[in-house]
Amino acid sequence: MFFPVHPTSQFLAAFDAGRGQRYLLYGTTVGFADIVAFYRAQLGDKGDLVFREPPTHMFEVGKFREETMAFPPGVTVKDWTWGGSQGYPNPKAGAQPARYPTIIMIVPPPPATAAPARR
């Protein structure tokens, strides 16, 4: 399954989400609305504004399988400047930008498991 990454985004970290899935966290200096518009065009889906405060938009891609997944595969975009915040701190000390106004979280599906061998 292909998940586009906005060309201005910088990879920040990967986290274990459980059940073989990982969160891939990216930061960008591009505003929330522009990143949401990018993913609408790239994924061919309008997604859902799941929180107004702080603005958080989700695009679920693929089917969620509770027995094999911790989270639905997809892309979440969050505005880290809401409420006067200066943005998400760059985890790399001294790196630029110091903060990211918009964070993109990608959750791919877990790797396919091999089917048991037939005898």
- pLDDT tens, 31-78? 999 999 999 999 999 999 999 999 999 998 877 776 767 777 889 999
In the numeric block, which tokens belong to residue 119?
Answer: 């005898």
In the numeric block, which tokens belong to residue 72?
Answer: 């639905």
| Boundaries of domain holding 66 | 10-107
Q: Is residue 115 part of a domain?
A: no
Q: Is residue 2 part of a domain?
A: no
What one-character-per-residue DSSP string does 60-91 give?
A: E-S---TTT-SS-SEEEEEETTGGG---EEPS
Q: Is residue 119 part of a domain?
A: no
Q: Is residue 114 part of a domain?
A: no
* Cα radius of gyration (the chain): 16
Q: Is residue 1 part of a domain?
A: no
The pTM score is: 0.85
The band of 117, judged by pLDDT with boundaries at 50, 70 and 90, is very low
Domain count of the fold of the chain: 1
Q: Is residue 117 part of a domain?
A: no
CA angle 40, 84, 54 (to 5 degrees): 40
Q: Is residue 33 part of a domain?
A: yes
Q: Is residue 87 part of a domain?
A: yes
